[in-house]
Amino acid sequence: MAAPNVGTDTGPSNSRFTLGNFYSDEPRRMKVVVIGTGFCGVTAGIRFLQKVPNLELVIYEANAGVGGVWFANRYPGIACDVAAHGYQLSFENNPNWSSFYSPGSEIRDYLQGVAEKYKLLPYIKFQHKLVHAEYHEESGKWHLRIQKQLSGPGISPTGQRDEASYEEFVDTADVLFTGMGLLSRWDWPEIEGLDAFQGKVVHSAQWETGEGDLSPTAKWEDTIGSWKDKKVGVIGIGASAIQIVTALQPEVAHLTNFVRSKTWISATLAQERLNELSKDEMISNYKYTDEDKKKFQDPVYYNQFRRVFERDQHAAYATTLVDNPIVEQAREAFKEDMIKRLAKKPWIVDHIIPDFAVACKRLTPGPGYLEALCEDNVDFVPDIIKRITPKGVETVDGKHRELDVIVCATGRDLSFKLPFPVIGRNGVTLNEKFDPYPRSYLTIAVDGFPNWFIGGGPNSGLGHGNLIYTMERQVEYAIQATLKMQRERLKSIEVKKEAVDDFDEYLLSYFPKTVYGQKCRSWYKMGKEEGRVVGLWPGSSLLFVHALSHPRWEDYNYEPLDANVKNRFYWLGDGSTMADNLPELDSSWYLDPKVVDVPPGDCLLISYGHSSTNLSCHVVPLTTQSTSTDGK
C-alpha cells in the first residue's frame, strides 16, 4: 500500500522560520554548579554526571573536605540520631556501620568514600565559598562570586577572619543547585555578657577549644584534654546539646546543663529493632558485632534488614496526625520510659517532660542523656539564663554558678535566609523574598529565581521517614529540569508565582491536621513556640517522593535560548537525530536488549513505581481474569 500523499503545501509563508542548525537530540553544552558536599551535594554531583550529557560540572565546597555538616561539626558525642542503616544513600550500602547510631566521623568517612568511589573528587573545589549569586536575565546565567582560601588558616590569632588569606573570582552557571543545608548556618546566642566571660566559650557548630587539632582524623577527646578538673556549662537541649552532655559528663569535673524548654527524649526511635539485636532492654546504642557485619555482607539479607528500618521510619507518620489514637499512646509510652530513666533524680521529670505531642518538635533519641543527668557530677538547671558574668552564669532565680567553660549548643539560623546576597529577577534578593517567612514550590524552586534548584530548602524537612531518599528525589527533579532545558534549548526555566501560591495554600491547609501546630518551641517554626511551619514537608515522606517524581512542567515559564525564536518546536533542529547522521552510532538502538521494555509475560502488570528503572509490580495471572463483560 502506497503512503498517502501529504502534499507540498507548507502553509502561509509568514509562518516559516529558520530551522535550527543542529540534530534534535544533540545535547547543548550545560554548565552546572553545585554548592556543598553533604548528602545532597554529593548525590547531585554523582547523578548530574551520570544523567546529563555534554556537561561541565563544578562543585564548590567551603570546607576542606567532603561531608557538609558532618565535616564541619566535630563536637563531643556527635552522632546520627536515626538508625545508621536508615541514614545512607539508596544506591550505596554500608554494611560496616559500627553501631546502631553511628558517630559523625563515620558518616563523614562514608560520604568521602562515596565521592571517591564515583570519581567525584576531581570536580570538587575545596575551600571555595559562595559569597554572592546574581541571575543575569540577558544571558540566562547565574554569576557566582567565589571566595577561594589561599595558604593560611583563614583565622587570625585574635579569632577574626583573615581576609588576606582569600581571593575572589566570578564563575557562571546555566543551572545552580544549592545543597548547603539549614544546619550550616549558625550564630552565637543573644545572651547578655557572653563576650565578657573570662573562661573558654565554645560553640557546638564550630568546635575550637585551642587544644588538639581540626584535621579530619582528629578525635574530639583530644580537644578537651585539660577539662578533667573543669566546671563546664552546656546551654541547650537540642540534638547537639544532648549528645554533648552525654559525652562530656564522664570527662569533666562538673557539668551544668542549662535548659529553657521541655522536650521528649526517647531511648531509641526503633527500640523493637534494637531489642532484636540485644537482650539488654535498657540498651540505648548497640555496637554491631563481627557476626552482625558478616551477615550484612549478604546482599539479600542486608536489603531486608535495611527495609525493616525504612518501614519503621514511614510508620511514624501516624504519630503526626492529631486525631490518631497512637499520638496519645506514644506520649504515654515515652513518658513512662523517661520516668524510668530519671529514677535517680525524679524531680527532673516535671521540668523536662512536656505536655505537647511527641512529634510536635524534633524527636531526639538521646542515648545516655537522661542517665547522664542522673550522675552526681551533673546539675540540670531549668531556669532561664539572666546573664553571663565574667565568672559564670546567673539565672533569673538569682543563683550564680561559677564555670570554667561554656558550651553554646544553640543559636542556629532557622530562617532559611542566606548569609550572603542571592539576587534574582528585577534585583530582588532571596532574603527579601523570604521575609517574613520562606515560601517555595515543592521545596525546590522559588519564583523570580530562574534556573536555581534547592536541596534542603523550605518545608523539605521530615518529622518521620527517610530524609536522605527525599534529598535524592530533589536531585533527580533538578536533573529532569536541566535535561528539559538542554533538550528544548531553553535559556530559563522559572516556576510561576501562582504555582508557589497554590503550594503555599496546600501546606497551610495541611498542617492544622497535624501535631506540628501545637505550642512547642521548634526549628520547624523557626525556633518559635507558635506560628507558621516552615521546616517540614506537608505530608508523608512517601508523598514527598511521589510529588517530586512527576514534574508538572506546566507550572513553569520558559524562555528560549534565542529570543528571536518564537516557534516552540525549534528544538526539533534540522529534522534529524544524531543516529541519522553519525555512522558510529547505531540507528537500531531501540532494539538493544538494555533498552527494550519487555512486558512481564502471561500476566497483567500494574505499576506503582516512579520510573521505568524502579518498578514495584503487582502481577495478576491472566487465568484468574474474567474476560466477560457481564460478570459471568
Mean pLDDT score, 457-486: 96
List the beta strands (DSSP E) in 341-464.
378-381, 385-388, 392-395, 400-402, 405-408, 422-423, 452-454
Q: Is the pLDDT of residue 283 over 70?
A: no
Number of H helices, E strands in the chain: 15, 21
Alpha-carbon span 548 to 445, nearest angstrom:
12
Residue 603: its pLDDT value, please? Answer: 54
Which SS3 state, helix, strand or coil, does residue 309 take?
A: helix
Mean pLDDT score, 218-239: 93
Residue 602: its pLDDT value, please? Answer: 62
User: Taking all residues of the chain, what is their mean pLDDT, rounded to a whole number?
Assistant: 89
Strands 128-136 and 452-454: what pairing?
Answer: unpaired
Q: What are phi and psi of 578, to 5 degrees?
A: -60, -40
DSSP 217: T
Alpha-carbon span 410 to 199, nearest angstrom:
19
125 half-sphere exposure, CB direction, 13 A CA radius: 16
Q: Is the distance from CB of 333 to CB of 557 less than 8 angstroms?
A: no
Residue 624: its pLDDT value, please? Answer: 45
- Band of residue 9 on the pLDDT scale cut at 50, 70, 90: low
**Residues 394-439: pLDDT tens digits?**
999 999 999 999 999 986 777 788 889 999 999 999 999 999 999 9
Strands 175-178 and 30-35: what pairing?
Answer: parallel
Q: Is the distance from CB of 437 to CB of 532 less than 8 angstroms?
A: yes
- Band of residue 363 on the pLDDT scale cut at 50, 70, 90: confident
**Residues 87-104: pLDDT tens digits?**
999 999 999 999 999 999
Q: Is the pLDDT of residue 615 over 70?
A: no
pTM: 0.90
- Band of residue 61 on the pLDDT scale cut at 50, 70, 90: very high
Q: Is the distance from CB of 75 to CB of 55 less than 8 angstroms?
A: no
Alpha helices (H) along 197-258: 239-248
DSSP 488: T
Residue 159: its pLDDT value, please? Answer: 43
- Band of residue 163 on the pLDDT scale cut at 50, 70, 90: low
Does the bond joining 436 to the residue before it have cis omega, within 30 degrees of 0? yes
Residue 572: its pLDDT value, please? Answer: 97
Query: Of 233, 244, 274, which Cα lies nearest the Cα of 369?
Result: 244
- Band of residue 186 on the pLDDT scale cut at 50, 70, 90: confident
Q: Is the pLDDT of residue 4 over 70?
A: no
Paired with 170 in beta bridges are 145
**Residues 95-151: pLDDT tens digits?**
999 999 999 999 999 999 999 999 999 999 999 999 999 999 999 999 999 999 986
Superfamily of domain 30-184+414-559: FAD/NAD(P)-binding domain (3.50.50.60)
- Band of residue 581 on the pLDDT scale cut at 50, 70, 90: very high
Mean pLDDT score, 482-494: 98
Is the alpha carbon torsion for 68, 70, 71, 74 positive or negative? positive
Other CB atoms within a 10 A radius of the CB of residue 418 amount to 18
Residue 619: its pLDDT value, please? Answer: 47
Alpha helices (H) along 323-412: 326-341, 349-352, 369-373
**Residues 442-471: pLDDT tens digits?**
999 999 999 999 999 999 999 999 999 999
Higher confidence at residue 157 or residue 603? Answer: 603
- Band of residue 339 on the pLDDT scale cut at 50, 70, 90: very high
Residue with grid cell 563544578, as numbered in its chain:
58
Residue 155: its pLDDT value, please? Answer: 46
**Residues 306-330: pLDDT tens digits?**
998 899 899 999 999 999 999 999 9
Q: Is the distance from CB of 561 to CB of 491 less than 8 angstroms?
A: yes
Here the cell at position 342 is 530519671
Alpha helices (H) along 342-464: 349-352, 369-373, 430-433
> Over the Cα atoms of the chain, what is R_g?
28
Residue 620: its pLDDT value, please? Answer: 47
Mean pLDDT score, 161-180: 86
Alpha-carbon span 90 to 495, nearest angstrom:
29
Here the cell at position 78 is 556527635
One-character DSSP codes across 356-378:
S-TTSS--B--TTHHHHHTSTTE
CB-based contacts of 325, cutoff 8 Å, min separation 6: none
- Band of residue 364 on the pLDDT scale cut at 50, 70, 90: confident
* Domain edges within the chain: 30-184+414-559, 204-408
Q: Is 573 left (phi over 0), alpha (psi -120 to 50) or beta?
A: left
